[in-house]
Each structure stands twice: as C-alpha cells, then as structure tokens.
Structure 1
C-alpha cells in the first residue's frame, strides 16, 4: 500500500518537558557512530587510521576496552540504548524500513523520559528519534528511502504541491530505478540489494516518488546535523540538556563531503570516518567555547561492529591497506563473534573524570540506568544496570554477564568467556564477507587467552560449557 508522507510519523514518541532554570545537574551528550569498528578509532591502537578528535575524548576520559552494543546491527542496538531492554525481548527490534510503525511501546520509559522527568531539554539529531522533545533526523538510514530530513515528525521543506510517497514492496508506475535506469547512478553503484529508487546519483533500498523539494544532499549531511547540534546547544545552554547525536558515518552509502574526500587514503569509508571524527572535534570546540565542557558528560560509542562492502562498490575492501577495522577481534557487523558487538566506548567529563582505561565489561544496555542514577536515583532500568561510578572512573566493577544478539540469534558473554550456542544459519554473510559465528556445534572461547576466538574449547572444557549453556538458557527464557 502506497503511503503519502506529507505528515511523516515514523517511530517517534513526543514527550513534553517542563522547562526549569539552570541547575547543578550536568548536561549529557551521547555521540553514537554507525558501523564504526573497535579498530577504527586510533586510541584503541589496532588500526592505521588516525582519529585525532575521538582520541581527544579518550585521552581526557576513560577508554573502555570491553564495552558492548547489545546487537550486531543498528536498530536493535539503538532500541536497547534508549530503553535499557534487551532487543531479543521485542521481536520487531530489527532493522526497520523508512515507513515502519511504532517500535517502542508508549508505556516504555526511555532514556529521554528519564531526563525529561528531571527537567532536562532533550533532543535527538542525526539517526533515530524516540521520546525526545526535539528531533531532527533522517527518516530511516542513509541507504533507505525516504531520503529526507524529519523535524519534529514533519518532513523538512516538503511542498504541499508535491507530496512524498514511499513503498517498500513495489515501485510507483513510471518511476526509474537503478535497474531500469543505471545511468542515474552517477556517484556510486550498487553491489547487492541497493537497486531501487535513485536519488543524488545514489541507488537506495525502497521506492519513493515526489517530495523533490525535501530531498537531502548526502555530501552536506554532516554539516546539516552539526548545525542543528549547535542550534540546540545555543537554545539550551542556560538549562540542563540531554542530546543524542546519531552520526551517520561510516554507514553506507559513504558519500563524504569534498573536504574529506581522499584524506584517509582508504577510499570513501576511511574518508567518512574522518568526517565523523571532524564532527566530534567541532562539538568539543563548541562546548569549550561556550564554557560547557566542565558541566557536560559525553559518552561516545558505536551501534555495532564494522563492515566493509555493505551494498555498494566504494573501494572499502580494495583500499583498506593495513588498516584493521575490527582490531584483534573476530567477525564484524552481523556477527556473534566479538567484533560484532564489542565497540569503542569512551566517557569524558572535563575536570570530573580522570583519564584512564577500563577493562571491565559494560554494555550500552546500562546507559539508561546509569544516567538515572546520575540525575536522580535508581539502581536498574529494565535489563540495564547502574554503572555510573564506573563510567565516571570512581570504581572498577562492571558486568559479569551479557547476552548479545546478531541476526536473530543470541550468545552469552560471562566473565572472560564467550559461549555461542548451536545455531542454524550461514557461517559467513557472503555479500559482506563477515563471519557470523553461526554453527551447528556449540562454541566456547576463553577471551583472556584467545581474544581472536581461534580455539573452540567446547570439547576440552566440558564443565564450563555445561555451566554457561545452563546460564544462557536461564537468561534467555522469554
């Protein structure tokens, strides 16, 4: 069924917020990268790409070496970060289309609700928008239609004389696609899947028609979102605010601005990471100029592990060189192996957090509960736990166990062990060449001795295998 999106209501909840005068409570900013790997940040000393601005956060804050997203794909991880709920508890918490209905139930308390109830102004800028006072986002993601910005549930710059239509099942009569009109792909060509509507010389997933005045330009996206971040900070600098800043880099299609093109020597993927790093630096400079760094807690992370060829021919594989996006880990995006969910994670608060490194386990699942403790009180939030003191560097005691997810399957991290139950499914996602960790045999790895997960100990460590199998089954009962 074709849907007119003159008034686009996707997955958002609009929460009103009481406005209060400036208090002693800190501002909080979450910077959330998209498909950024453990080895893509130079502070983790694994790859060859240099990210000086993200490194500024690490040098002045705490770098977590054992931090996890809950899922190896984007929507489930974002669902968990915002709600503190495991994504596998919600069958719809998977990669969503640009016309998807509500995902988070209105009765669910999100991290935005936690801040709003404490008098904070809240905003999401970039990718995804759930439960915030203000939102300026993309409707879905870079590679999916509709390729428009959505401001507070309304399509930005949409003309009533040219409504926007979106369909994920069938094309609109007479509308060109990447298959019917390949000459329209002037900037990048599809390798798999991304062969439907073409906009800005780039083929996408899904079909759309109309809305010409509202369509974005990929090369200026970083600047559009960054300016929105500036505007939100300017409007709320005299009161506490919470900002969820969802970077779109280095998700496909990777079409960085011309000022970054060729700078990494690794093609568009490396250039897109440098673009994201630049945005982090600009935000830090803005906060410093406005005198807000000393009263702002910043959390930086990524929604899942890295992927190279994820649907477009963009030389991500060919120009990689010696760089290792996954660092010393195995797998990547879509994988139950470590590189699928172990991600960069940094906390920074000038003058309040002493620089250092933490090897304790923590998950993005725990951010909501920890922020609740920061601004009010509370020890838990759904599946999340309160690790505020660890985030602030006041203690070193993290999670003992965590259930991770990839492509509908789950696995267990317990202390220094990784348990992967027997699963049907491909061993490798062929079109991206990432190992999944799926096998009809159980897998057990001692990460303290085998971070690359090269030696399956399921046969030799039978007692540990049984212990973790039982614990996994107990935790994943639905």
Structure 2
C-alpha cells in the first residue's frame, strides 16, 4: 500500500469518526495592507473610471468589499495608533500627527495586534511607514539604538520609513538602527535651521524638482523640500522613487522566510501620501498626475504580494485585509498636479470631506478582506473599522484580550469573514487628529458631528485647504444625504440629544468595549 493511499485512508477514518477534517491550518497567515491617503473613490472596484487598479480589483472580486469600512481618524498617526492598540487615539497622549523627532507614542507593555498574534505563535513584522515615534522620552537617537519602537510592542522585526516622507529624515530603520549609517557622517535631525547657508525650499526653491505649495519648505533631499531639518547620514539616505520597490522587496523576503509557519505582516505603504514621487516606470501612466501614478504603483505592490502568496501556495491559508489610514487630499503641500488634473475623478467617491475632516470622506475608505476558500466573494454593507482588527484577529488566533487593553476594539471576525447573519458595529466614533475636540459619531443612518472649537478643517478634495466655521453640533441622515450637505439637527432634536449624550459618554468613560476597563478605573 502506497504512503499516499495510507494518508487518504487515515483522513477518511478521522472524518467518519470525528467529523469534517480541517485541511487548512488553525492559524492562517495575516497580511494587513494599509494604504496612505487613499480615498473611497480612488479604486476602480469602488467606482473610479479615470484609472484602473486591476490587482486590488482582483482582491475585491475574490473577497469581500465593504461599503462601510472605516479608519478611526482622518489623519495617519491616530489611525495607526488605534489600529495597533485597538484604542481610540483621543484617549492617548501625543497621538496627533507625529513630528520628525517624536519619541515612541505606543509604550512598551501596551497590548497590540502584533503582541496578541505573537503570543499565538505568529512571527510578526511591520514594513513601510511607521510615523508613531521612536525612542524614549528624549526622542530618537538616530546614530544609536532606536528603542523603544515596534520590537518593544510585539513585532519581531521591522523595516521602516520612520516618520512620513514629507518629514525628515529620508533614511530607513531596520529593527533598532538606521542601516548603512557612516559614523563619520552622523545623522542630525532638528527643528531649527542648522546653519545660515543650509539649503531649504525657501532659499533654494529654483533647484527643486517638485515645488511646494505650503508648509514643506525646509531641508531639501532628492530635489524635494520637507518639514524639518537634517544633515548627515548621506550613505543611509534613499530616493523617494524607490520606496515602493523596497517595501515589496522586504515583504517578499519576510514571507519567503516564514512560509512554513504562521506570520503576520503589516504592510504600511506610503502611497499615495505626499511627496508623491512614484518610480519612473509609473510616472505619466495615468491622466491624474503623480497622485494617480502613485495609486497604480500601490496597485502594483498589492499585485506583487498576491503573486508571492500564489507562488508559495499560501493564498488559501492567508487572510488579507486591505484598508487606508484616512481619506484623500489633493494639494497637501506640493505642486504635483493633483488639483489641476483631477478632471471628473471623485477621490472620496460620493462623500464630502477628506483627510483632516470628520465628514465621511475623511474616514470611510476602501476596505477589503480576502481569504480564499473561507470568505465568500461579495459586497458587505456592515460597518467595520481598522480599530477592530486587534480584537478580531485575536479571536481568529484564539487569544483573549486583557481587561485594560484594546479598549475600543470589537470582535468583528464574523463580519470580516462574511459569515451569514454576522453583524458589524452599531456605532463608531471618528476623529480628525490627536485629541483636539473634533469628533463624529455614526449610529445606523445617523451621523453627529461635534466641534468643540467650532472650526472644521474641512477638506473638500476638489478645492484648496480651507478652515470653515461650523456649528458646535451637526446632524446628518446618511441614508438620505450621504454627502452630509444638509444639517437636520433642528428637525430631529431627540435624536440629536441622544447622540450627544452617547458621544460624550463614549469619550469620557475611557473605553467602549464591553468588559474593558480604562487604566484610571483600575
């Protein structure tokens, strides 16, 4: 009797006496792909016609495409904080957009999606944009050990863009150090001009290959001026055009190295954040300027990851989640043609607002899950959010949440996998940046906006950035008015009263997950 025949007989025996055989591993690999500044309407699978995103479209056609998928904030640092910790960023400290020399925002010992999966036996990695600070309270030691950082909150390895690429410095971080750093050319990062003759976007504007429009006019690197100042570290610096290739290269290395055991990869793309400088092979490939070109570069990255899973025969044992850290913005500090070439493209789809705002366009983004053989392809209207990934993936891996951890993360695994009858969230708090008093609460069809400072940095992505005076509260019926054009708070005073109280309670009580306890309440 052949060995193969013996195995078949054994499986049939187990199936008869013990029920169906689970041919897939109990702990699937998990890849979370987070785009940067990608809007609801920026992909062809979400209705875009000005460009095509075939690889992301394929991901959607083979999985579940959500129409009410959210990030928890409309800027990068707070969304990333909430995604990793499962806790709303407004509950934390220094969770606004992190400056170049920011210390680690997520402290060692904090439960994260990475630490939960690591405890379940996963090998964990983050590759790409970090923007959550590095180092102790004094900030990063760029020429020494950059810790604490990702490795102190559950990641086994990391290969990072330490801040965001419109902020200095333009170097990578591998685990705890800047690779290729020459001790004879130390890296210095600061908030003030290091010398009177230091080239900046103001003093050497005529040398720039991409001009700035506002706020990005300090140190020049690769013909592009940035926020902040730095000197040295020349051997460690990278070209903007090579970022996407590097993220794919390092991700493929990680997947290949860990193909025999469960792994968790957080693929944190920098596309399509400014400065948008895609690789030369993508430049000019769309009619939308470098912003459109960066979208198809992002699509290529997704395709390379999926090809790697297929090549290694891992696709049927890998849950892939595609999302974005916030909604779109056109002019975010550089003259890259995004405004002039927008045409009929609607980056936020049918929604108003975008990055920096709590209108739907700021937080409702593309959200796709795919697990071949386990997720039935289709479209879901259930409300899910990136903040729910820690609790959901913990449930997938059989891990329990600590009482004081992941305080706002709900187990949405059934909804994420498209299980029949599984429901998504019944409410979601949204914020713009940090904890500056701009919030929104969606409950069913109702959306309440709260502006404690009564000034909304309201991005309508087809226009310039503008500060708009708004009432303290606004109420919208998303079923009748998805673009949030008509404030109906005067028509529904009881609904407004209930939502005001619910939002205030959610903010003040320190947690929203049932059973979770805020640290102060211990």
Normalised by the length of structure 2, the TM-score is 0.84
Per-residue Cα deviation, 1:347-367 (whole angstroms, up to 9, x for no partner):
001111110111111111100
Alignment of 1:311-390 (within 5 A): 311-378=333-400, 381-390=406-415
Please tell me whether residue 201 in structure 1 is matched to residue 223 in structure 2: yes
Corresponding residue number in structure 2 for 1:6: none
Please tell me whether residue 234 in structure 1 is matched to residue 256 in structure 2: yes
Please tell me whether residue 446 in structure 1 is matched to residue 477 in structure 2: yes
Give the SS at the match of 1:384. Answer: coil
CA distance in 1, matches of 2:103, 2:399: 33
Please tell me whether residue 411 in structure 1 is matched to residue 436 in structure 2: no
- In structure 2, list runs of 5 or more residues that go unmatched: 1-23, 131-148, 511-522
Per-residue Cα deviation, 1:102-143 (whole angstroms, up to 9, x for no partner):
201212101110111111111111011633111001110111
Give the SS at the match of 1:136. Answer: strand
Per-residue Cα deviation, 1:405-442 (whole angstroms, up to 9, x for no partner):
01331111111110012432544558973577862342
Alignment of 1:45-56 (within 5 A): 45-46=47-48, 48-56=50-58
Corresponding residue number in structure 2 for 1:9: none
Cα 1:351–1:465 change in 2 (3 A) is same
CA distance in 2, matches of 1:442, 1:295: 46
RMSD: 1.8
Equivalent pair of 1:80/1:87 in contact (CA under 8 Å): yes
Equivalent pair of 1:328/1:451 in contact (CA under 8 Å): yes
Q: What displacement does 1:377 show? A: 3.6
Q: What displacement does 1:368 show? A: 0.4
Please tell me whether residue 162 in structure 1 is matched to residue 188 in structure 2: no
Q: What displacement does 1:23 show? A: 5.7
Equivalent pair of 1:423/1:440 in contact (CA under 8 Å): no
Q: What displacement does 1:206 show? A: 0.5
Match of 1:31 among 25, 30, 33: 33
Per-residue Cα deviation, 1:451-477 (whole angstroms, up to 9, x for no partner):
011111100111111111111111111
Equivalent pair of 2:458/2:468 in contact (CA under 8 Å): no
Give the SS at the match of 1:359. Answer: strand
Equivalent pair of 1:23/1:239 in contact (CA under 8 Å): no
Cα 1:309–1:50 change in 2 (3 A) is same
Corresponding residue number in structure 2 for 1:148: 171
Give the SS at the match of 1:468. Answer: helix
CA distance in 2, matches of 1:211, 1:113: 32
Give the SS at the match of 2:374. Answer: coil
Q: What displacement does 1:79 show? A: 0.3
CA distance in 2, matches of 1:134, 1:93: 23
CA distance in 2, matches of 1:428, 1:379: 36
Give the SS at the match of 1:123. Answer: strand
Per-residue Cα deviation, 1:367-424 (whole angstroms, up to 9, x for no partner):
0000000011447832100011111111330111111001331111111110012432
Alignment of 1:110-149 (within 5 A): 110-128=112-130, 130=150, 131=153, 132-149=155-172
Equivalent pair of 2:439/2:451 in contact (CA under 8 Å): no
Q: What displacement does 1:260 show? A: 0.7
Match of 1:99 among 93, 98, 101: 101
CA distance in 2, matches of 1:230, 1:370: 25
CA distance in 2, matches of 1:436, 1:81: 28
Match of 2:207 among 168, 181, 184: 184
CA distance in 2, matches of 1:283, 1:47: 24
Cα 1:357–1:284 change in 2 (3 A) is same
CA distance in 1, matches of 2:207, 2:114: 41
CA distance in 2, matches of 1:234, 1:94: 36
Please tell me whether residue 274 in structure 1 is matched to residue 318 in structure 2: no
More strand per residue: 1
Q: What displacement does 1:266 show? A: 0.7
Per-residue Cα deviation, 1:136-188 (whole angstroms, up to 9, x for no partner):
01110111101001101211211111110000244345421111222331x20
Equivalent pair of 1:63/1:356 in contact (CA under 8 Å): yes
Q: What displacement does 1:91 show? A: 3.1
Equivalent pair of 1:420/1:437 in contact (CA under 8 Å): no
Match of 2:487 among 456, 459, 463: 456
- In structure 1, list runs of 5 or more residues that go unmatched: 1-21
Give the SS at the match of 1:223. Answer: helix
Corresponding residue number in structure 1 for 2:516: none
Q: What displacement does 1:38 show? A: 0.3
Equivalent pair of 1:334/1:434 in contact (CA under 8 Å): no
Give the SS at the match of 1:107. Answer: coil
Per-residue Cα deviation, 1:297-353 (whole angstroms, up to 9, x for no partner):
000000000000000001101011111000000100000110011111000011111
CA distance in 2, matches of 1:414, 1:179: 47
Please tell me whether residue 397 in structure 1 is matched to residue 399 in structure 2: no
Corresponding residue number in structure 1 for 2:20: none
Cα 1:434–1:358 change in 2 (3 A) is farther
